[in-house]
Structure formats: structure tokens, C-alpha cells
Structure 1
Amino acid sequence: MPASGPQDYPHQLQYLEEQLPEEDFVLLAESFSGPTAALLAAKHPANLKGIIFVATFLRAPNPIMAKLASLIPVPKLLNVPGARTLLKHQFLNSPEAGISDTLLHDTLRGLDHKIIEARLKALENIPEFEFKSEIPAIYLQAEKDTIVPASCAEDFKAVFSNFEIKRFPASHLLLQSYPESTAKIMADFLSSLQ
């Protein structure tokens, strides 16, 4: 997703379409990028062979939390006492976790807070998804995710007819919390598309 400029979903889709290869491809859509991948699927590109959704949504997952988070800049949140512990609980909670809470904290500190604020604002205007798609899709669900609740996975069933959910006892950063397990599932999904 673009690291600058407008962050609303129509602009995200335009940015994505400019990056797409001419050959067959599979999309990986994590968190904020889920609606963008669904918007692309609605256009039925012939070379889109599958989508892997990870801890994402098709409608604002928690509008009240997003509104509150948009009012407090990320750098200020990171300076609150106990922020490191809270971040670890919210994002990483697995013995397989591939990154440390220090790396997570430092990465979040380095993010452009204006981009984060713009993306939180974009959650207020997610398009309606009223199309049906036969594109194979899998959803890797983080069952302990308080940012994107597990119930968000259910919305995808109404759009994608060839759809499967794989559940993990993880927080929001599922791929980082379970790198080996999720890599195996993704590899199996890719093999099933051939």
C-alpha cells in the first residue's frame, strides 16, 4: 500500500492496480488492505488466481476504537507508561512470534502518523461489497484479535463462494506471531490453485 498520498480505498485500489503483474498472481491482503483486495476481486481480473486474507475486514471492524485512535497520534500512544506491554498483548502473543516487542515498538514509532490517521479516517468510508466472486480465497483468522474481531471473517462468506477460514489463537499480527504455521497454510493454498 502507498506510504504517502491519499489513503482512501479508491486510491488504494488505483495504487494496487498500477503494481499488478501481467502474469497470474495471488494477493496477500493483511489488515487494512482487505477491502482493497476485495475491490480488485470485484473487477474480476483474469490473472487473479486467489486471495489470502489475514486478520482483515470488509467493513469497519471497530468504528469507536478507530475514531478514538485517530484522535491520539501514534507517537503519543507509544510514550504512555506500559505501552510496550499493551502492544505485545494487542499484536503479538505466540511462542512462534518472529519479532520482539522491542522491534514492534520501534517499528510503530517509525511509522508516519499522518498515514495512520488517514487510514483510520478511510475506515469511515469503506465501500459496500455486494458482488459475488468465485476467486478462491482463504482467511487466516486471529481469534484473539481485539483490533479486527474474529467475527469479521464471516463477512467474506457472503462475497467469496470458494472460501475457507483457518483459525489461530493469535492477536492482530498473525503472520508475525505464527510465521511457520501460516507459511505452511499459505503454501498449501498456493499448491491447491495449480
Structure 2
Amino acid sequence: MTESHENLLLLPGLHGVGSLFPPFISAMPPHWTTRTFEYPLDAVRSYEDWTAKIRETLPEREPFVMVAESFSGPIAVKIAATPPPNLRALVLTGTFLSNPVSPLPKWLVRVAKPLLRIAPLPRLLLRRFLLSPDSPPELVQGVFQAVDLLPKTTMVDRIVSTSMVDVREDYRQLTVPTLVFVGLRERLIRPRAVAEFSRLRPDVQVVEIDAPHLIVESKPQESVAAIAQFLQQLPRSDA
């Protein structure tokens, strides 16, 4: 791995906190630094609002790499479409550019929304769609805890917002070097949504990892190695 310093900004998935990132961070070289943006648990905002909010917190001078997982992917793409000058690269992991699941009629979304707010989320579904049968117990428990901490209203609003998002045009306009992680055992995001990354931008580097939806948590060493190799190919803006 390169001995150069890397500054990573981590944007978590729908759970909104960094509690699942420690194994990923621990796998990084000691000369890399990280900061995780955490979404307030009780905050209900649109993708546009979050994009503006996160843009306000970006590093002002030091070159940085933005790593966005799942729910945060569209936000990172919108930021990178009009990037700050010190954004060195973009890494997208287990994420999407438009509705990640089967399209639903808007009337059905409106009907289902209040029902989802009161119905419990089965842990069996969390394991099936976010993890894999061989996921370590500590990761499984960490996912359950992160979801349990998220207020149901916040969770449902974030889920519904993913069904409405569309950043495909922003993605087409990217000029920032971009790496996309695709999990070979992905069950949450429909294949058509995953395929959009290569179909819309054949020049973008896509790496397949034998992992479920939570890629960097499930395969931290492989993820860090792929990011390091990708960054080694880029010119140093601080050289």
C-alpha cells in the first residue's frame, strides 16, 4: 500500500451512524485518517437538504476522499457533480443512483408509509437483505443495535426517500475519479439499479467483492486494499 497520507470522509448507510465502521477503519493503514458524518437520529430531511448540510461540513483545504455507503450514495454523487476543489476521489459502496428496489406506484407508497411506521422490522429481513449467512455475530448484533436506535419515523422517511431519488444525470457529469464497490451477494438493491453504474459510465472503475449489501463492514481488508490500489493510480494534488 502507498505510504502517502489519505483523509477519508465516511458517509454511513440508512442507519446514519458510524457504529459499523470500526472494522473497516481498523483495516486501514495507520497513516490514513477518517471522519464519519453522522445523521441526527431524529432528523427527517430530503436528499437535497442532506446534500446541502454535508457540503457545509466538508474539509476546506486538505485533499480528501469521500466514501459513501448505501443511503448516502446519491448525496455523495450530487456533491461530486459540482465538487469542491480538494475532493480527491469518490468511493461508492453498496449504493444506487435511482430507486434501488422494484418501482412502486406513488399511491402505494403513500398508503404503505403510515403502516411501516407502526409495523416492526423483522430481524430475519435485516439479515437476509443486509448481511449473509456467514456474517460474524458481532456484525449481526451491530446491525440490529444500529437499526434499533433509529426512530421508526426517521427510518421510514429515509426508506421512502430512496424510492424517489434519481441522481443518474449527476453521475453522468462526474469528473472526480470514482470507484464503485458491488457486492456479489447483494440482495437489497435490484440488479438493474446496480448495473446503472457501468451502463451510464463505462469509464468508472467497478470492483466486485464477495460480500452482501454491507460490503466494507463484511470485507474490510478487501475493501481497503481496493481503495488503496485505486488511490495509488491517482496523481497527488498535494505533491
**Same structural fold, with TM-score higher than 0.5 when normalized by the shorter chain:** yes
Q: Kindly indicate whether residue 165 of structure 2 is the aligned counterpart of residue 126 of structure 1.
A: yes
Give the Cα–Cα distance (whole angstroms) in 2 for the partners of residues 97 and 142 of structure 1. Answer: 17
Q: Kindly indicate whether residue 69 of structure 2 is the aligned counterpart of residue 30 of structure 1.
A: yes
Matched with 2:217 is 176
Identity %: 24
- Structure 1 unaligned runs (5+)? none
Q: Kindly indicate whether residue 39 of structure 2 is the aligned counterpart of residue 2 of structure 1.
A: yes
Which of 18, 30, 40 is residue 56 of structure 2 equivalent to?
A: 18
TM-score (norm 2): 0.68
The residue identity in structure 2 corresponding to 1:115 is T
- C-alpha contact 2:180 2:205 (8 A) present in aligned 1: yes
Give the Cα–Cα distance (whole angstroms) in 2 for the partners of residues 69 and 138 of structure 1. Answer: 35
Which of 35, 49, 72 is residue 116 of structure 2 equivalent to?
A: 72
Give the Cα–Cα distance (whole angstroms) in 2 for the partners of residues 142 and 74 of structure 1. Answer: 31
Matched with 1:112 is 151
Give structure 1 regions of 4+ aligned residues with deviation exceeding 3 angstroms. 66-71, 94-100, 157-162
Which of 28, 34, 51 is residue 90 of structure 2 equivalent to?
A: 51
Q: CA deviation at 1:96?
A: 7.0
- C-alpha contact 1:138 1:164 (8 A) present in aligned 2: yes
TM-score (norm 1): 0.82
Provide Cα deviations, 1:48-101, integer angstroms capped at 9, x if missing partner.
11100001001011144x9498542487124xxxx3x44323222275748332
Q: What SS does structure 1 have at the residue aligned with 2:208? A: strand
Give the Cα–Cα distance (whole angstroms) in 2 for the partners of residues 174 and 127 of structure 1. Answer: 22
The residue identity in structure 1 corresponding to 2:69 is E
Q: What SS does structure 1 have at the residue aligned with 2:44? A: coil
Over 3 Å counting, the alpha-carbon distance change for 1:154 and 1:100 in structure 2 is: closer
- C-alpha contact 2:74 2:167 (8 A) present in aligned 1: no
Over 3 Å counting, the alpha-carbon distance change for 1:134 and 1:55 in structure 2 is: same
The residue identity in structure 2 corresponding to 1:29 is A
The residue identity in structure 2 corresponding to 1:15 is K
Q: Which has the higher helix share?
A: 1
Root mean square deviation, CA, Å: 2.8
Q: CA deviation at 1:139?
A: 0.7
